[in-house]
Amino acid sequence: MGYTVLPDGSIQTDDADEAIRLSKKLRTPEKHETNGAMGVAPKSKTQTSATSQGEGGGADAEIVALRAFVDDLKDNQRRALDALHTHGKLSAEDLCKELGLTGNMALGGVTSALQKNANKAKVDFSLLAVKTIEPLGGKKQIWYRPGLRLKEVYAK
């Protein structure tokens, strides 16, 4: 049976039993292993709601869901993604400056809220932004870079 998942999370299908089954499946959160906040990708990237194959294909539904998620963001969460879209790869220090934050603790609040909201919206946040830790002069440097779909989301 074909079905389409809309950005608001509703499901369009011709079969009522299939809609009920899918609705129950979507309400049960999947447990993903993450390595902290800010879109550190899980090993398996199966996202039932965002990549469902329906009218127009899975990639289109994924972009629509990601755009709806980004459009609903407020304040520093939105500004963080805007900064990554504008500047590309940013160090944690530079991202703090862009957002007017005092340090990594404050940035951690923003990034963890972004990840939490993405999980609630059932979107794969690693497609928007990714956190990496790289050695730099004997220390570890935290970097944030745009995810694979960030440019497509902003290209409205």
CATH number of the domain that residue 76 is part of:
1.10.10.10
More confident residue, 55 or 28: 28
**pLDDT at position 8:** 62
| pTM of structure | 0.61
Q: What is the pLDDT of residue 86?
A: 92
pLDDT at 5: 63
Give how many domains the chain has, as a whole number.
Answer: 1
What percent of the chain shows pLDDT beyond 70?
63
112 vs 61, more confident: 112
Domain span at residue 14 reads 3-154
- Confidence class of residue 153 from pLDDT cuts 50, 70 and 90? confident
CB contact at 8 A, 96 and 107: yes
Please check whether residue 85 is in contact with residue 151, taking contact to mean a CB–CB distance below 8 angstroms: yes
| Biggest distance spanned by C-alpha atoms of the chain | 59
